[in-house]
Amino acid sequence: MDHYRYFIRLAYDGSHFHGWQRQPNAATIQQTLEEAMSMMLRSSISLTGAGRTDTGVHADEYFAHVDLSDHLSVFELEKLIFRLNRYLGGQIVLFEIFRVASEAHARFSALSRSYRYCIARVQNPFRRDYTCFLYGPVDVELMNAGASLMMDYRDFTSFSRVDTDTMTNICRISYARWELEGDELVFTITADRFLRNMVRAIVGTLLELGTGKINLEDLKLIIESKNRSKAGNSAPARGLTLHRILYPKEIYPK
């Protein structure tokens, strides 16, 4: 039987979910969306996501792929999106579902991923689930020097959760910078891949740099030690958002 592959572009508020990936006895984005789609399409749906996100982490943009036995028209896809969004209640929102080449893969076809970490410099009750509040002075210029330094390295074992099944800890960071956006200090980082807990560990370590607990030479030693215990504590999950995922044009049907 022929199957047609579709990409789903979505966003979610991760505050009340245990990340993307299915887990026993825990509500996840994958499980919630699979169950909703299975009900709507009256068949068992299995989604493959672009990657894991930790408990409490959000996504401005996330992709998953699904193989369906039916070729759905644009109208049918738009109707499905409308019905799913109404059923899901707003914490998960689908933007589009579109046909892709059969070899396209939500995880392995991605060229890069970008994350944003938001730190509130003024407490805001409407942003408390999406920021981490930081009190006191911080040296943003020094943290940007540290972020730039990290781009010279490839092995990020020092910023990876230790109990993972990852085959390699090699990543290529193409962008890493802190910017002030109103009352928030925002860290944006782009790489070809990320290790589990990597961004939150990097943020925690760069905050130690910015608050004078370590210096640039210490940061070099932390990276080169390839030892997670040498790096800073992981920043809280609520401030982290998966922001963008880039795919090659070749995955789309001609």
- Comma-separated ranges of CATH 3.30.70.580 domains in the chain: 4-108
Point out the residues that are catalytic. Answer: 54
CA torsion angle 107 108 112 118 (round to 10): 20
Residue 68's beta-bridge partner residues? 4
- Comma-separated ranges of CATH 3.30.70.660 domains in the chain: 112-244
Residue whose entry in the numeric block shows the structure tokens 């049907």: 253
What is the CATH code of the structural domain delimited by 112-244?
Answer: 3.30.70.660
Q: What is the pLDDT along the chain (254 residues), one digit of tens a residue?
A: 578 999 999 999 999 999 999 988 899 999 999 999 999 999 999 999 999 999 999 999 999 999 998 888 889 999 999 999 999 999 999 999 999 998 999 999 999 999 999 999 999 999 999 999 999 999 999 999 999 999 999 999 999 987 766 788 999 999 999 999 999 999 999 999 999 999 999 999 999 999 999 999 999 999 999 999 999 999 999 999 999 999 998 887 66
Whats the size of the chain, residue-wise? Answer: 254
What is the CATH code of the structural domain delimited by 4-108?
Answer: 3.30.70.580
